[in-house]
Amino acid sequence: MRAALAIAGVELRRFLRDRSNIFFVFIFPLLLVLVIGSQFAGGGGNGRIAIAGDDSALRTAVASALENDGVTVSLTGADAVRELLARGRSDVGLVISPTAAAAFDAGDGVVLETITGSQQGTQAVLQRVRTAAAGLAVEKGQVAALVGAGVGESQASAALADVSGSMTRPSLAVVDIDRIAQEFSGLGTFDLGAAGETLLFVFLASLAGSSTLIQTRRLGVMARTLAAPVSARQAIAGQSLGRLTIAVFQGAYIMLATSVLFRVSWGNLWLSLLVLATFSAVAAGAAMLVGSLIDNDGAASGIGVGLGLVLAALGGSMLPLELFPDTLRTIAHITPHAWAYDAFAKIQRHDAGLVDILPQLGVLAAMAAVLLVAGTWTLRRSMARAL
């Protein structure tokens, strides 16, 4: 066992000394969590509108009505509005002509040009614009009606302000029981991204590292290790343990860094680490298998990166599993990522205990066992093969 631990220790030290890993292991995962978190959390929840036109009472009224409705408003020129829409950077454009602004000031009817983009959600934002537009000049009509009934204009305005202040407006109380909305409620900005990214990078780093196993064989390190009083079993156990240690190290680093920097809540830490360790064992087994079946390290790193990204995308590490269609969600569970994602989701969102995540842990452990046994067997065979 001591020999195996020593080999694993050397593998981890070599991994940490490799300066190229600074970016891929320490910086890139956090960068991705940051970018994904800010993309999916930021921005007005009720869409984006770009308004073109000079500063006017009408523009101010439209902009503030829409902002009060939770729409993100940007004020710009007419050409810029068309470009923003064409490129999908805004949902709806509104062009306020000088004629419209003057007509609004004079209390006349106004015609506004709206331009819609072609992405999802545009229609909902357009409806918000219609609702906001309908309420723009309400007060002018109210004053006119009261004046028509013989009330003085200033008295009418004062009475309207007084009544508006004392009356409670009818409102909508919206409760969302949508399965997905419920599932994600209470999650921090970065929580969802962090769990997925951890799984992605643990697996990706392990598979990309399979090329070191090929180098170890090519440079004769394995043969020399076996020349020492170390059995083949110990040497292979050391290699497996090394891969496992690196995978756990990578995952634990992302968990720690995201919880410190982005306040990601990982729920029960010990259970999360247990999921990570089991998932890392699967990753280590896969890395051993790739590293001993393929003899060309360029091809191995290509397959490693490709497989790492494809399995992560399929396993819900890039788009949450909850957003998958049902059939695809079932298919996703051929990947270890999906099982680990489910386990993390239970721990993070539902305070699950060990018993609750036993099915996921069991599947991951079974996958790890199969891959580690197969990896050990192929590694043993590959040692006898000339490179």
20 in contact with another protein (CB under 8 A)? yes
56 in contact with another protein (CB under 8 A)? no
Residues contacting residue 23 through CB under 8 Å, at least 6 positions apart = none
Judging by DSSP bridges, how do beta strands 48-52 and 92-95 pair with one another?
A: parallel
What does the per-residue mask of binding to another protein show for 35-54, with x meaning CB under 8 A?
xx--x---x--x--------
CB of 3 to another protein, least distance (A): 29
Q: Which of 200, 195, 150 is nearest to 307 (CA)?
A: 200
Stretch that binds another protein, among 159-167, 190-198, 221-229, 344-352 (CB under 8 A): 159-167
Choice between 92 and 271, CB closer to another protein:
92
CB of 373 to another protein, least distance (A): 27
- Alpha-carbon distance of 275 to 362, in angstroms, equals 10
CB of 222 to another protein, least distance (A): 21
Scanning residues 304 to 343, which ones bind another protein (CB under 8 A)?
305-306, 309-310, 313-314, 318-319, 323-325, 328
373 in contact with another protein (CB under 8 A)? no
- For residue 360, the Cα-to-chain-centroid distance in whole angstroms is 22
Phi/psi for 114 (5° steps) reads -105, 145
CB of 280 to another protein, least distance (A): 22
Stretch that binds another protein, among 17-25, 187-195, 278-286, 371-379 (CB under 8 A): 17-25
368 in contact with another protein (CB under 8 A)? no
164 in contact with another protein (CB under 8 A)? yes
What does the per-residue mask of binding to another protein show for 280-309, with x meaning CB under 8 A?
----------------x-xx-xxx-xx--x
Total number of residues binding another protein (CB under 8 A)? 104
Phi-psi region of 220 (alpha: psi -120 to 50; beta: other; left: phi over 0): left
345 in contact with another protein (CB under 8 A)? no
- Alpha-carbon distance of 328 to 332, in angstroms, equals 6
CB of 6 to another protein, least distance (A): 26
Task: Let me know: does 91 contact 122? Beta carbons within 8 Å.
Answer: yes
- Alpha-carbon distance of 361 to 355, in angstroms, equals 10
> What residue spans of 42-77 are helical by DSSP H?
57-68
User: What is the C-alpha end-to-end distance of the chain, expressed in Å?
Assistant: 29
17 in contact with another protein (CB under 8 A)? no
What does the per-residue mask of binding to another protein show for 172-201, with x meaning CB under 8 A?
xxxxxxxxxx--------------------
- Alpha-carbon distance of 330 to 342, in angstroms, equals 12
Scanning residues 96 to 155, which ones bind another protein (CB under 8 A)?
103-104, 107-124, 126-131, 133-138, 140-142, 144-146, 148-151, 155
The three state secondary structure string of 184-219 is HCCCCCCHHHHHHHHHHHHHHHHHHCHHHHHHHHHC
The H-or-E segment that residue 165 falls in is helix 153-166
Scanning residues 58 to 77, which ones bind another protein (CB under 8 A)?
69, 74
Choice between 11 and 197, CB closer to another protein:
197
